[in-house]
Amino acid sequence: MIAIYPGSFDPITLGHLDIVERGSRLFDQVIVAVLKNPNKTPLFTMEKRLEMIQQAIDHLPNASVDSFHGLTVNYAKIRGATVILRGLRVLSDFEMELQMAHTNKTLADSIETVFLATSNEYSFLSSSVVKEVARFGGSVDHLVPTHVALEIYQRCSVKTPLE
Protein backbone atom coordinates (compact mmCIF):
# COMPACT_ATOMS: atom_id res chain seq x y z
CA MET A 1 0.00 0.00 0.00
CA ILE A 2 1.40 3.40 -1.02
CA ALA A 3 0.85 6.48 1.13
CA ILE A 4 1.65 10.04 0.25
CA TYR A 5 2.50 12.61 2.89
CA PRO A 6 1.79 16.00 1.28
CA GLY A 7 2.93 19.39 2.51
CA SER A 8 5.18 22.35 1.85
CA PHE A 9 7.95 21.14 4.21
CA ASP A 10 9.59 24.57 4.33
CA PRO A 11 11.62 23.26 6.11
CA ILE A 12 11.13 19.64 7.13
CA THR A 13 11.00 19.40 10.93
CA LEU A 14 11.61 16.57 13.36
CA GLY A 15 7.81 16.38 13.69
CA HIS A 16 7.45 15.79 9.95
CA LEU A 17 10.24 13.22 10.08
CA ASP A 18 8.49 11.45 12.97
CA ILE A 19 5.34 11.08 10.84
CA VAL A 20 7.35 9.75 7.88
CA GLU A 21 9.20 7.23 10.06
CA ARG A 22 6.01 6.00 11.70
CA GLY A 23 4.20 5.92 8.36
CA SER A 24 7.03 3.86 6.87
CA ARG A 25 6.29 1.17 9.46
CA LEU A 26 2.60 1.13 8.51
CA PHE A 27 2.76 1.32 4.71
CA ASP A 28 4.76 -0.41 1.99
CA GLN A 29 5.88 2.93 0.61
CA VAL A 30 5.65 6.53 1.83
CA ILE A 31 6.14 9.37 -0.63
CA VAL A 32 6.86 12.75 0.92
CA ALA A 33 5.07 14.92 -1.64
CA VAL A 34 6.17 18.54 -1.64
CA LEU A 35 3.45 20.84 -2.93
CA LYS A 36 4.35 23.66 -5.29
CA ASN A 37 2.06 26.27 -3.77
CA PRO A 38 1.97 29.56 -5.72
CA ASN A 39 0.24 31.25 -2.77
CA LYS A 40 3.25 30.83 -0.46
CA THR A 41 6.67 32.45 -0.49
CA PRO A 42 8.96 29.69 0.75
CA LEU A 43 12.22 30.16 2.62
CA PHE A 44 13.83 27.44 0.51
CA THR A 45 13.58 26.63 -3.18
CA MET A 46 11.80 23.48 -4.22
CA GLU A 47 15.12 21.89 -5.16
CA LYS A 48 16.65 22.65 -1.76
CA ARG A 49 13.60 21.30 0.10
CA LEU A 50 13.69 18.08 -1.93
CA GLU A 51 17.42 17.73 -1.21
CA MET A 52 16.99 18.32 2.55
CA ILE A 53 14.07 15.89 2.78
CA GLN A 54 15.94 13.20 0.85
CA GLN A 55 18.88 13.49 3.20
CA ALA A 56 16.53 13.32 6.21
CA ILE A 57 14.81 10.13 4.98
CA ASP A 58 17.82 8.33 3.49
CA HIS A 59 17.71 5.81 6.35
CA LEU A 60 14.19 4.71 5.35
CA PRO A 61 14.33 2.26 2.42
CA ASN A 62 10.60 2.56 1.68
CA ALA A 63 10.40 6.38 1.78
CA SER A 64 11.00 8.74 -1.12
CA VAL A 65 10.45 12.39 -1.94
CA ASP A 66 8.81 14.05 -4.94
CA SER A 67 7.17 17.35 -5.83
CA PHE A 68 3.79 18.06 -7.34
CA HIS A 69 1.33 20.82 -8.12
CA GLY A 70 -2.43 20.73 -8.25
CA LEU A 71 -4.79 18.57 -6.25
CA THR A 72 -3.31 16.07 -3.82
CA VAL A 73 -5.81 13.37 -4.84
CA ASN A 74 -4.81 13.71 -8.48
CA TYR A 75 -1.15 13.31 -7.55
CA ALA A 76 -2.06 10.30 -5.39
CA LYS A 77 -3.83 8.67 -8.35
CA ILE A 78 -0.82 9.27 -10.60
CA ARG A 79 1.48 7.62 -8.05
CA GLY A 80 -0.91 4.74 -7.37
CA ALA A 81 -1.35 5.78 -3.73
CA THR A 82 -4.46 4.76 -1.83
CA VAL A 83 -3.65 6.70 1.35
CA ILE A 84 -3.03 10.35 2.18
CA LEU A 85 -1.03 10.49 5.41
CA ARG A 86 -1.48 13.50 7.69
CA GLY A 87 -0.16 14.42 11.12
CA LEU A 88 -2.35 16.07 13.75
CA ARG A 89 -0.91 18.31 16.46
CA VAL A 90 -3.79 20.20 18.01
CA LEU A 91 -7.58 20.41 17.79
CA SER A 92 -7.48 23.20 15.21
CA ASP A 93 -5.42 20.91 12.93
CA PHE A 94 -8.14 18.29 13.20
CA GLU A 95 -10.90 20.65 12.09
CA MET A 96 -9.01 21.76 8.99
CA GLU A 97 -7.67 18.29 8.17
CA LEU A 98 -11.09 16.66 8.55
CA GLN A 99 -12.61 19.19 6.16
CA MET A 100 -9.81 18.48 3.66
CA ALA A 101 -10.24 14.71 4.09
CA HIS A 102 -13.96 14.99 3.37
CA THR A 103 -13.28 17.16 0.33
CA ASN A 104 -10.69 14.70 -0.96
CA LYS A 105 -13.13 11.83 -0.45
CA THR A 106 -15.66 13.59 -2.70
CA LEU A 107 -12.95 13.96 -5.36
CA ALA A 108 -11.52 10.45 -5.10
CA ASP A 109 -13.56 7.87 -3.23
CA SER A 110 -10.81 5.24 -3.48
CA ILE A 111 -8.28 7.30 -1.51
CA GLU A 112 -8.39 7.24 2.28
CA THR A 113 -6.90 9.82 4.64
CA VAL A 114 -5.05 8.39 7.65
CA PHE A 115 -4.24 10.67 10.58
CA LEU A 116 -1.35 10.07 12.95
CA ALA A 117 -1.31 11.96 16.21
CA THR A 118 1.94 13.85 16.54
CA SER A 119 4.32 12.53 19.18
CA ASN A 120 4.11 14.61 22.37
CA GLU A 121 7.56 16.13 22.00
CA TYR A 122 6.60 17.63 18.62
CA SER A 123 3.04 18.74 19.38
CA PHE A 124 4.01 22.44 19.26
CA LEU A 125 6.26 22.19 16.23
CA SER A 126 5.64 23.62 12.77
CA SER A 127 7.80 24.92 9.95
CA SER A 128 6.51 28.42 10.76
CA VAL A 129 7.72 28.11 14.36
CA VAL A 130 11.15 26.97 13.15
CA LYS A 131 11.46 29.93 10.75
CA GLU A 132 10.32 32.41 13.40
CA VAL A 133 12.81 31.12 15.98
CA ALA A 134 15.63 31.22 13.44
CA ARG A 135 14.80 34.72 12.20
CA PHE A 136 15.24 36.03 15.72
CA GLY A 137 18.53 34.20 16.26
CA GLY A 138 17.26 31.29 18.35
CA SER A 139 18.51 27.73 18.15
CA VAL A 140 16.57 25.34 15.92
CA ASP A 141 18.95 22.42 16.47
CA HIS A 142 16.35 20.56 18.53
CA LEU A 143 13.55 21.20 16.01
CA VAL A 144 14.99 20.02 12.69
CA PRO A 145 17.60 17.53 11.47
CA THR A 146 21.18 18.84 11.84
CA HIS A 147 21.74 19.39 8.12
CA VAL A 148 18.49 21.37 7.92
CA ALA A 149 19.48 23.55 10.90
CA LEU A 150 22.73 24.46 9.14
CA GLU A 151 20.83 25.43 5.99
CA ILE A 152 18.41 27.54 8.02
CA TYR A 153 21.21 29.39 9.81
CA GLN A 154 22.88 30.08 6.49
CA ARG A 155 19.66 31.17 4.79
CA CYS A 156 18.60 33.41 7.67
CA SER A 157 22.12 34.87 7.87
CA VAL A 158 22.42 34.23 11.58
CA LYS A 159 25.24 32.59 13.46
CA THR A 160 24.63 29.14 14.81
CA PRO A 161 23.85 29.35 18.53
CA LEU A 162 27.19 27.65 19.27
CA GLU A 163 29.23 30.41 17.59
22 marked among binding-site residues: no
25 marked among binding-site residues: no
Pairing of strands 29-35, 83-88: unpaired
Q: How far apart are CA 5 and CA 16, in angstroms?
A: 9
Q: Are 1 and 33 in contact (CB under 8 A)?
A: no
- The beta strand positions in the chain, using DSSP E, are 2-7, 29-35, 63-68, 83-88, 112-117
125 marked among binding-site residues: yes
124 marked among binding-site residues: yes
Active-site annotation, residues: 16, 40, 89, 127
72 marked among binding-site residues: yes
Enumerate the known binding-site residues for ATP: 8-9, 16, 87-89, 97, 122-128
Enumerate the known binding-site residues: 8-9, 16, 40, 72, 86-89, 97, 122-128
Enumerate the known binding-site residues for substrate: 8, 40, 72, 86
